[in-house]
Amino acid sequence: MSVPLTVIGGYLGAGKTTLLNHLLGNNHGLRIAALVNDFGDINIDADLIESADSETIALTNGCACCTLADGLTTVIAALRERSDDFDHIVIESSGVADPLKIGQIGAAFGFPLVAVTVVVDAEMVRTQSTDKYVGDTVMRQLGSADLLIVNKSDLVAPGELESLGAWLAVTAPDTPRLTTRGGRVDTAILLSSLRTSDTSTVEAGSHDSFDSWSFRTDAPLRRSDVEAFLTALSPGVVRAKGILRLADDTTTEYLLQRVGRRASLLPLKAVSAEDPTDTRLVVIGVPGSIDGELFAQRLSGVAPADS
Amino acid sequence: MGGMNARDIDDIAADFSRGRISRRDALKRLAALGIGAAAGSAFIAACDRKTSSSSEGTARTPADTIYRNGTVLTMVDDRRQADAVAVAGGKILAVGSEADVMATKGANTVVVDLAGHTLMPSFIDAHGHFMNAIQVVKWANVQGVPAGPISSIADFVPVLQEQARTFALKPGDWIIGYGYDRSNLVEGRELNVDDLDPAFPDNPIMLIHSSNHGAVLNTAAFRLVGYDENTPTPPGGIIVRKPGTNIPYGLIMETAFLPIFTKAPKPSERQLLDTLDDAQKIYTRVGVTTVQEGATAAKDLRVLRKGADEGLLYLDVVSLPLFLEIPELAQDFAPDFVGGPADIPDEAAKAFGTYNNRLKLQGIKFIIDGSPQGKTAFWTQPLLTPGPDGQPDWRGQPLFPPETILKTMAAVHAKGLQVFCHANGDAAIDLAIDGMRATGVKAADDRRTVIVHSQCMRPDQLDPYAELGFSPSFFSAHTFYWGDEHLANLGPQRADFISPMASAFAKGLRCSNHSDFSVTPMEPMRVMWSSMVRTSKKGVVLGADERIDNWKALQALTIEAAWQIFEEKTKGSLEAGKLADMVILDANPLTAAPEALLDIAVLETLKEGKTVYRKEAA
């Protein structure tokens, strides 16, 4: 199976590296290959470091951190040769890059893009968005985001956070947001793997509280119903993940991913039509965004798609 | 004064006056002969007077070679021309009248009859990419006329067949070309596999697009990289398909190209070193003897250093390490180094400014934006046309966060290193101005900050250039190669001020002019011509007021370029004591009409008096 790819973008100082430090040091069971511009700000507990040279740091938890000194395409081509070693690729894009373009380059090398996440400095982003040099660059980054991570939320007053949310809702419409501080984001929400157990808990450090909904059925779903279900999800839904059996292709198991507003439905593995595997799905969102009854109706083709 | 003899003193005088030894070494040797410091200094001053004034022509030592009976362009403002030049020990011994120069003739002096041809200082590559030369010498040039041989679909196969013959390629070997662009073809369509496959059924072909963002492949190449009718087009990419089918038909671009490019064969370090000779010939055959590697990565510097240590360089190579590579370069010397580009070690400055086996690090290269023709430059005002991905109101963007650039620039400057800053758009130039102004630098500090390209300057940026001591290295050939595109993208007002050489000289700035090789061909006469006519391929003049005369145009390729790399005391003009880096041309570029410049041929190129190129007799 192809290793999924997540890009972490955002302007200089938003907290991309802090977020990455958090992901790499976390005990999540995922073997992450993180591609970073330089090691300057990478800060990993020395006990976790298995080996290190000027281009790669290998961690005892199976993760690795590689610099992009030789260029993104060279590094990612090399990574393709050892994709069995990793469960997830994370690229930290430079402070002015369009992270969607970085994601497209990664996808061109066979790593399916599951999310472009853009980290936002809660205190600075609105000033940055009008800067004479980088204002339009910052705005383009926000427009490329599938998921916004509003970081450093502890540095602004609650009222400010609210007006920032309203501004982001206009600036980056329909883009789900996580609010956090110190880059602490739930790995299960940001990344994806079959190794992670379904979760609805969110770590301390987040301002958000989430509801979740789990679904299981032994009846294959219609592809059009799944697509309609995904389209109708509100921006409050930050994450969905599932193993699906589809009626039009009973010999394949599918992986459903939705991170922020980007959804993908990819063939996972060939199975026999008689294989008893159920369809399983979990959806995570802010309170009010989850309506389990309606979701179940949509997935079984009962509810109209536009309700 | 026991033990000394007149012969020893003569030797010392000869070595010193030819520049073989320094004043200090001469004094030391004189002291060893028992001559005290005061007497020694007086003696040396006397030697100095004898040779420093060329017109006296009474040097004690005879010339190795004298060049006479032609036009000699000194490139010195107040005495532009001379009758003859004498060379000794790789340096210029005398320049001046026939009589004065001939006075340096000794029994073994070779007198060269220039037969009416023109002798002048060889050209200095003010900005270009020597590592590209090492790469492209093994590739086929499929650029359009005049940069290459291509004007129609039918031109490709013969060029590629010639390439296969030249390098004795076997079936299955890659044939790589560079500079492909549909806009050069009279047919106005893309080259496709049907054009290439009949002649090349077995050799994979990759013709890299002029943007470097794509390529045309033949069927053998598609087979090798695994592209077929089942290959989906990746987001952000282009795969041109054969009409009515899904079969890849030739051109692939962007994300469809990147994974392919990493599969093309990469030369080993040995192969790179083995091409150094051919790479230098690109320069010698057009009269260039000082070459720039103007954006050097750490791994490339290792190759260059190895080539230098093995004695493979016979031209002077000026390397400008990229600012992003500072940490890796620092690790080469200090394995425990940790930090970013702004943490440049204190000791670093010592590695700069002197040649070692013909390789010199001169300054740190910053890159603020991309290129105007690629629409990746950074302007303050939007283009009149959409951005590279169709974006409306596109004005480009910086390649790095301004904070990162400014912080590193300040650190590099504080360590005493010279800053070379790539800036094409006026917003990128604003950033360079902001960055250097923050260091407190003034023109009087003589730091010679070079703003490479300075293409889309605004008139109001000339004053800060003068104030901060900036020196632009212009790229006037853009008015020819992309002038028509610039008019469409920028409008006439902005396009007319591209590489404003006349305004910059009038402001008292020192300006060089470059080809940015391999972005455009290594062709000094084309560069000179472009600064004098500023005429596009379609024949439109961009900014008639910014055209300069022959003299200034030539100075921008010689003495001005030497000054930018702190070599004006040894290069860039013909004066006694300077290096005998010279070129012999078949016509005089100072008096030639602009159109005639492009026909001027290099007959011979000399590096420190030694012939490094001689045109074969027709």
- pLDDT digit string, tens, across residues B121-177: 999 999 999 999 998 999 999 999 999 999 999 999 999 999 999 999 999 999 999
Q: Which of A69, A108, A133 sits opposite B258 (nearest CB)?
A: A108
- What's the pTM value of the predicted model, to 2 decimals? 0.87
Percent of residues, chain B, with pLDDT higher than 70: 90
In order, the DSSP letters of B74-97 are ---TT--EESEEEEETTEEEEEE-
Beta strand extents in B248-328 (DSSP E only) = 248-254, 288-296, 316-321
Q: Taking CB atoms and an 8 Å limit, are B236 and A137 in contact across chains?
A: no
pLDDT at A191: 80
Tokens encoding B108: 């073994």
- d(C-alpha B222, C-alpha B263), whole Å: 11
Using CA coordinates, name the residue in chain B closest to A109: B259
Out of B261, B402, B430, name the one closest to residue A134 (CB). Answer: B402
Residue of B213, B258, B326, B343 to mutate for A, most A C-beta atoms under 10 A: B258
Contacts of B331 in chain A (CB under 8 A): 54
How distant, in Å, are the alpha carbons of A67, A112, A240, B5 from that of A261?
A: 29, 15, 10, 91
Contact B540, B484 (CB under 8 A): yes
Of A236-240, A299-303, B89-93, B397-401, where does mean pLDDT reach its minimum? A299-303
pLDDT at B301: 95
**Is the CB of residue B61 less than 8 Å from the CB of residue B88?**
yes
B49, pLDDT greater than 50: no
- The answer to whether the CB of B132 falls within 8 A of the CB of B516 is no
**B108 interfaces chain A, CB cutoff of 8 Å:** no
Predicted local confidence at residue A81, as pLDDT: 87
List pLDDT tens digits, range B231-265. Answer: 999 888 999 999 999 999 999 999 999 888 877 78
Indicate the range of A61-70, B433-442, B478-487 predicted with least confidence: A61-70
Count other Cβ atoms within 10 Å, centred on residue A284: 26
Report pLDDT for B23: 63
Phi, psi of A38 (to 5 degrees): -155, 165
List chain A residues with CB under 8 Å of B383.
none
Chain A's closest residue to B322, CA to CA, is A69
pLDDT-based confidence at B346, cuts 50/70/90?
confident
Instruction: Report the C-alpha gap between A115 and A106 in whole angstroms.
Output: 12
pLDDT score, position B264: 77
Which residues, given as ranges, of chain A have pLDDT below 50? Answer: 194-205, 307
pLDDT-wise least confident of B43-52, B282-291, B378-387 = B43-52
How many Å apart are CA B275 and CA B86, to the nearest integer?
34
Which candidate in B255, B266, B337, B344 is best for mutational testing of the A interface (most A CBs within 10 A)? B255
> What pLDDT score does A205 carry?
43
Cβ atoms B252, B238 nearer than 8 A = yes
Strand order from edge to edge, sheet including A237-246 = A211-217, A279-285, A237-246, A249-259, A262-270
With pLDDT > 70 as the criterion, what percentage of chain A qualifies?
93
Q: Is B401 on the interface with A (CB under 8 A)?
A: yes
Q: Return the number of CB contacts < 8 Å for A and B.
A: 73
Distance, in angstroms, between B78 CA and closest chain A CA? 45
Taking an 8 Å cut-off on Cβ atoms, the answer to whether A12 and B404 are in contact is yes
Taking an 8 Å cut-off on Cβ atoms, the answer to whether B236 and A101 are in contact is: yes
Domains and CATH numbers, chain A: 5-190 (3.40.50.300), 211-299 (3.30.1220.10)
B interface test, pick of A94, A133, A141 with most B CB neighbours within 10 Å: A133
- Shortest CA distance from B258: residue in chain A: A73
| Dihedral angle sign, alpha carbons of residues A167, A171, A173, A178 | negative
Nearest to A73 among B236, B262, B338 (CB): B262
Give me the residues of B, 306-325, that contact A with CB < 8 A: 324
More confident residue, B338 or B45: B338
Q: Chain A partners of B332 at a C-beta cutoff of 8 Å?
A: none
Q: How many helices (H) and strands (E) does chain B have?
A: 23, 25
Strands B205-209 and B610-614: unpaired
Q: Does B258 touch chain A (CB under 8 A)?
A: yes
B262 CB within 8 Å of a chain A CB: yes
pLDDT at B389: 85
Residues of B in contact with A13 (CB under 8 A): 403
Does the distance separating the beta carbons of B331 and A108 come in below 8 Å? Answer: no
Which chain B residues contact residue A132 at CB under 8 A? 380, 427
Q: CA dist A24 to A44, A47, A67, A201, A235, Å? A: 8, 13, 14, 19, 27
Alpha helices in B336-469 (DSSP H): 402-414, 426-437, 462-468
Residue in chain A nearest B399 by alpha carbon:
A96
- Interface confidence, given as ipTM, is 0.85
Residues in B closer than 8 angstroms to A40, CB to CB, are: 327, 338-340
How does the average pLDDT of chain B come out, rounded?
92
CA distance A66 to chain B (A): 14
**For B337, nearest residue in chain A (alpha carbons):** A54
pLDDT for the residue B128: 97
Chain A interface includes B151 (CB < 8 A): no
Closest CA of chain B from A78, distance in Å? 9
Does residue B18 have a pLDDT over 60? no
Q: Nearest residue on chain A to B404, judged by CA atoms?
A: A12
Query: Does B507 score more than 50 pLDDT?
Result: yes
- B236:A69 CB<8 A: no
Copy the structure tokens of residue A152. 């450093």
Judged by CB atoms closer than 8 Å, whether chains meet at B404 and A73 is answered as no
> Given B237, B327, B398, which is nearest A96 (Cβ)?
B398
**How far is A153 from chain B, CA to nearest CA, in Å?**
23
pLDDT tens-digit series, residues B204-222: 999 999 988 899 999 999 9
Q: B431 contacts in A (CB within 8 Å)?
A: 133
What is the average pLDDT across B178-206? Answer: 96
List Cα–Cα distances, B575 to B120, B552, B559, B606, in angstroms.
11, 18, 11, 15
Instruction: Name the CA radius of gyration of chain B, rounded.
Output: 26
